[in-house]
Structures are given as structure tokens and as C-alpha cells.
Structure 1
Amino acid sequence: MGYQGLFVGLTTLDFIYLSDRYPQANQKVVALDYLSAAGGPATNAAVAFSYFGNQGKLLTVLGQHPLCQLIKTDLENYPIDILDLIPEKSASPSVSSIIVTASTGERSVISINALKSQAKRSQIPEDILTNVDIIMIDGHQMEVSWELVKVAKSKQIPIVIDGGSWKPGFEKVLSFVDYAICSANFYPPQCHHTEEVFDFLQNMGISQIAITRGKQPIQYLDRGKISTIPVASINALDTLGAGDIFHGAFCHYILQANFPTALSKAANIASKSCQFFGTRSWLTS
């Protein structure tokens, strides 16, 4: 087995539909294809990390609801240990409904994420960071994440954040982070432009920052210098989970390469995933 990674955050049950058009009001559309899978940023990142022969630990909230068995069944296919912060939880896990437009690969998602499933620091398993080479947090379990990054920093474990969007509490976590990998939708308070985001994160003490922008070049800052990395031109079938997969691949590559190389290689993996329907088919191609 390769590296050991801890992924902290959201797990959902995704119902994914491939459609030749987006439904209009009061319209019924028959899907071209359908599948279900475990989803969520930390979860998909853990799966991508395992693709390289690594072992992932997924620290999340599931519980005892019957729908959780569908999530566990999917994740049994990968070398991932699920560590449930609230195993006694009886309510439904977060469920996402997703429509992917076949002609463009663009996706539309509706979900309640983890707002109703927040764990406390007292629920963190003991010795969770033992033999961990890297930790990634997606911001959906902020209290737990804050506690973990403080310990990880003291152990010199690299810390990555998935900055998909700004979430309250990030301001406490960011000062411990080594790598901030953000989407173009990540805007901290009072930030409205990319330059302001770079400045904000640098002021938090982060020297290696990247902002992914879909098919546009990745902008990144490496120790004071801003540069770009091109993204492969592809015919995208499905962009769902591409950012999550990018993060999981980055966590693998950054343990063996410099920052821009890790970004470039992770981008290639994310581009590959976009050429297949759903978040799993690329793994066996």
C-alpha cells in the first residue's frame, strides 16, 4: 500500500441523471442514463486518492439510516476506511440530485450538504492522525477540522483544503493550511476578485495557492509568484466531481512532486474523469 491520507468532510448519496436537455418548468424528461454513488468533496477525493494504490481514511457523518448502506456498498469497492463521527444518527444522510447535460458535460446539483449533520470535536476518534501522510478537509465539518489541523500542524502533516466555496469557520482553519486549492467560486469575506483571494490567503500564511477555473488555465501562487498551468482540451461528457477528483489526485502527487507538477498531474486526472459519465467509470478505464 502507498500513502495514507485522511479526508474530512461531506458524504452524500448522489442520484445522477444524464439528459439531452435540462427540464423546463412542469416538464418531464426521460434520462439517457442514470446511476447512484457515494458523493461529497471529501468522499470523492478519498476515492481518487485510492486510485493510486493509497489507503484513504474518510472522517465523515453517516449514521444508521437505510440509505447509508447504499453509500457503504459503493465505498466497499475501494481501499477506504469509513470513520463515522455520529454512528448513532438515525436521520437520512445528505442526498444530492444531479442532472448532467450530455451535450456540454455541465451539471446542476441540489443538496442540503452537511448543515444538519455537524459533529463535535469530542466525537473525533482517538489517534486518528497516526500514520497519516496528508490530510484534506472540505470545510463541511468545520469544528472537527479545526481541531484536527492544529494537531496535524504539530505533527508536520501536510494540510490541504478544498476551497469549493467560502464556509464560516474557514478563517480559523486557514492559518494552519499548507496548500489551498480553491475553485473560482471561493470568495472569502470582502473578496471579489482573484487577486484579492490570493492576497487574503497569503495574509493567512499560505504560500502555495491554486485557483481552478474549469477548462480555463489554473492560476497558482508558489512562494510569491503567480503563474498559470494549462488544462487539457477535451470533449467533456460529465464534469460532476471533477474538482473533488482533482483534490484527491493532488494529495497523492504533492507527496512526491513540487507544487506546480502536482497541480498539472492532478489536472490531467480530473480531465480524464470528465470524459466518463459519473464519478467512478474513469477509475477502470
Structure 2
Amino acid sequence: MSKGLFVGMVTLDLIYLVEQLPNRNQKIVAIDALTSAGGPATNAAVAFQHLENQVVVMGAIGTHPTAHLIVTELQEWGVAIADLAPTRTESPPVSSILVTRSTGERAVVSINAVKFQIGREQIPPNVLAGVDVVLVDGHQMEIGAAIAKQASGGSAKQASGGSAQSAQDQKIPVVMDGGSWKPGFETVLPWVDYAICSANFYPPGCKTTQEVMNYLSKFGIEHIAVTNGGDAIALLSHGESGSIQVPHVPIIDTLGAGDIFHGAFCHFILQTNFKQALVQSAQIAARACQFFGTRQWMRPTSV
């Protein structure tokens, strides 16, 4: 059993399954609805825990009544919490999500963690004790950069001049969830071992997947993957390019598929090589897409 620390956004997700998105000034009735904790790091943490690991999710939650819903749901899945804002009375971010039944596509309205940024002085002591892998999603940028630096032993893989620290020498591997580019991500990149990005991740000046890989490589990141929904995953590992086909399955809901992919990757990368970890993670994410919501695929009754 491994232990992971997942740093980033924690939200309350209100998820609705609908036949179609509403038109202007239209009211619709949902087919189904779910409430769960959400956010990239949070969904990834639940998936990692489900794969028979221990996990701590680090984010800003607080004491608002909404926060109690988040905490209760995460406790149901065995996820431990390191609350960066334990006395905050404001509501944590809430997301409203509409999933179209015929396509599995989701539309999301939310306030991300921009208003909930926490300084590194709030990092609990000894938070990396016993941790085998760290995931950073970029929504708590200062915290994420500090944790990633600490996990990597404080010796950055500089783009110029400095020599890269080998994976064997690093204390804890750092995985980056690159869902989309966020200002300040450049402070995290020097400490990243595995960059797993979506097709919507475009650093400044980048317009293509190859440009994204070139950009990340300049920070000394040796293992890079770019997912693209149902299309092939592009990868770059030790300078060698490749691609991985993803399973084609009946799609019910794509919500959180990327997050679940990241959580599975953190599990598999501790057991196998980069390419095989991507293959196995894609299988997990494909399974999740066959169920409504981000949790149903893990329940014992799901077949």
C-alpha cells in the first residue's frame, strides 16, 4: 500500500444528468443528480485511495456548512484531509455541472480557487512523512510549488546551467495535473517528474502539442503526456516520442475522467514504467466514463 499527497482545489460539485442543455430563459428537469466533493486533486485522490492506497488531499475547506458536505463525502471514501484554511467561514467553491446524456459531455459553471489562495506558511509540519507520491493540480500554486520543491529534495532541474537530479535521487516523485495553464505554473515545473496534461494545456507561446512538450522539456521534465479525450495520448519520455491508444467504450459521463486518470497514474507509476502506467490509467478512466458522476464506477454494485 502506498501513500499519496494530492495538493490543489477542493469544491462541492452539484452534478445533473440532462437530456440537453437549457436554452436561454428555459427551465429543465434533470434525469438524475448527485452531490460530491470535487476538484482535480480531490477526484484524483479518491481514485488513488480506491486503488488500495492511503491518501491525503490538501486544500482550503474551512467551517462553512458547505464544507461539512465535502468532508463527510471524502470521509466516506477514506480520504484524509489537510485543511489549509480550517478557520475560514466563507463557502468553499461550488460547481454546477450539466452532463448531457446522449454524449457524456459536461458543461461546468464554477468559481475556481483564485479567491482561495493560501500562503506556504499554512503548510502543516511533516506533511510529507511516509508519502510515496505527490500530485499538484496548480489551483493552490504557492502551496503546490513549495510542496513539490520539498518533495524533490530542493534541487531543481534547471533549464540551463544546472544538472538534472535523477529520479533515483529524488525523495518523492512529483506528478503535475496540467488541466489548463494557470499563471504561476512556471514556479512548479522545475520540481515536476511527470507532467500529465490535457489537450487544453497551453503555456505562453504554445499552440501545438509539440510546442507544449518542448516548453515542458526546457524545465528538465523527462516524462510528459498529453491526453485528448477519446483520441490517442501523446507522450515524450527521455526524449523519445510516442502515442497510446485509449479504450473505446460507451460514454455516459466524461466528468472527472482526467482527474481519475491522474489518480490512477499516481498509483501505477509506483509499480511500473511510464508508458505502461499511462496504458493502465487510460483503462481506469475509460471505466469511469461508463457511469454517471465521479464515484459510481467505484461502487461494488457497478459492473
Classify the TM-score, shorter chain. over 0.9
Q: How far apart, CA to CA, are the structure 1 residues paired with 2:244 and 2:213? A: 16
Show the counterpart of 1:9: 8
Q: For residue 272 of structure 1, what is the aligned residue in structure 2?
A: 287
1:214 paired with 2:229, answer yes
Q: Deviations over 1:159-205 (max 9, x none)?
A: 00000000111111101100000000000001011110010001110
Written as runs of structure 1 = structure 2, the 5 A alignment for 1:1-285 is 2-154=1-153, 156-284=171-299, 285=302
Poorly superposed stretches of 4+, deviation over 2 Å: none
* 2: CA distance, partners of 1:27 / 1:80: 38
SS, match of residue 37 in structure 1: strand
SS of 2:71's equivalent in the other structure is: helix
* Larger displacement relative to structure 2 (148-157 or 246-255): 148-157
Which amino acid in structure 1 is aligned with residue 203 of structure 2?
A: P
Gapped regions of structure 2 (runs ≥ 5): 154-169
Cα distance in 2 between the residues matched to 1:267 and 1:6: 21
1:189 aligns to what SS in structure 2? Answer: coil
CA distance in 2, matches of 1:196, 1:93: 35
> What is the alpha-carbon distance in structure 2 between the residues aligned to residue 174 and residue 117 of structure 1?
22
Equivalent pairs, count: 284
Unaligned runs of 5+ in 1: none
- The TM-score, its normalising length taken from structure 2, stands at 0.93
Q: Give distance in 2, aligned partners of 1:211 and 1:274.
A: 18
SS at match of 1:76: helix
Q: Deviations over 1:72-110 (max 9, x none)?
A: 111111221101001011101100000000000000001
Shift of 1:21: 0.8
So what's the TM-score if we normalise by structure 1? 0.99
Whether the 8 Å contact between 1:54 and 1:79 is mirrored in structure 2 is no
Structure 1 residue aligned with 2:158: none
Code of the residue aligned with 2:238 in structure 1: it is R
What secondary structure sits across from 1:161 in the alignment? Answer: strand
Q: Provide the C-alpha distance between the structure 2 equivalents of 1:148 and 1:248, rounded to a whole number of angstroms.
A: 18
